[in-house]
Amino acid sequence: MTQSNGKKNINLTLKVWRQVGPNVKGRLETYQANNISTDMSFLEMLDVVNEELIINHRDPIAFDHDCREGICGMCGAVVNGRAHGPEKGTTLCQLHMRHFSDRDTVVIEPWRSRAFKIIKDLVVDRSALDVIIQAGGYISVSAGGTPDANVIPVPQEAAEKAMDAAACIGCGACVAACPNASAMLFVGAKVSHLALLPQGVPEAARRVLKMVQKMDECGFGNCTNETECEAVCPKEISITNIARLNREYIKAGFL
C-alpha cells in the first residue's frame, strides 16, 4: 500500500471476464490495477485500468454505466461471486475501493442468465426486463392536464409499500444472484407498486397475467425462496413483493 497526498493507494489483481461477443467463448484474463486510490469508485478503478490498456494498444474492458449515482440501474457485475460487490444496498458504481485491501484478488464477471445474453465482456443485454414492463408495467390514463395529487386518497401504509416497491431500478442483480435466474423480485416489485395504488387496480389482473407470461417467455426461471435476490438488491427490495405477486397472480386466475 502506498500513500499519495495523504490518500491511501492499493494494488489489486483483477481477474476479468473477457468475451468478444455472444457466440464466442469467453475467458478470465488477469490484469494488475496499481496505485488505485481508495477514494475511487469501482467503475473509476475500471476506468484507470482501461486507460492503461488503451495506452498499450489493447482492447479496453467493456462494462455498462450511465449516471454513476446509483439511480439508473445500468451498471452491474458480479464481484467475487456477489452481484454489485460486497457492500449491502449498494450499486456497483457506488461501491468504493476502500472496501478492498491491498493485494486483493478481485474476480469480475457479468450477470449470468439465459435471458441476459452477453454482448461483450461485462455488458449483457437486459432488454428482457424492458419487454416485461411493456407487457403491463403501466396504467392507462386519459390524456389531458396533470390531475391533482389529492384527488384519489391513498392510505399511508399502502403509499409507503408502493414507494418501497417503486424503488426498484431494474438493474438485474436479483436475476444474477438467483440460482434459478428468476426475475420474480423485479416483476414482484413492479406489480406491487401498481397493485397497491388505486390507479393500478382496474388493470391489476390483466397486468399480472401478462407480465408473468412474458417473464416465462423471456426464459427467466421460477422462484424457490432462496432469498439471494433480496440480499443483493441495491435498493433492498423485500421478497414480500414476490408473495404479493403470487397472490395477485392467483387472484387474477379466478376473474
The residue extents of the domains of the chain are 2-109, 127-253
pTM of the model: 0.93
Q: Flag whether pLDDT at 3 surpasses 70.
A: no
Fold assignment, 127-253: Fumarate Reductase Iron-sulfur Protein; Chain B, domain 2 (1.10.1060)
**Homologous superfamily of 2-109 in CATH?**
Beta-grasp domain (3.10.20.30)
Write the pLDDT tens digit of every residue in 66-96.
999 999 999 999 999 999 999 999 999 999 9
Distance set, CA 4 to CA 7, 37, 48, 59, 152 (Å): 5, 8, 16, 29, 57
Share of the chain above pLDDT 70, in %: 97
Query: For residues 90 and 11, what is the distance between their CA atoms, to the nearest angstrom?
Result: 23
Under the banding of pLDDT at 50, 70 and 90, the label for residue 237 is: very high
Under the banding of pLDDT at 50, 70 and 90, the label for residue 51 is: very high
Residue 185: what residue type?
L
Under the banding of pLDDT at 50, 70 and 90, the label for residue 6 is: low
248 phi/psi in degrees, rounded to 5: -65, -35
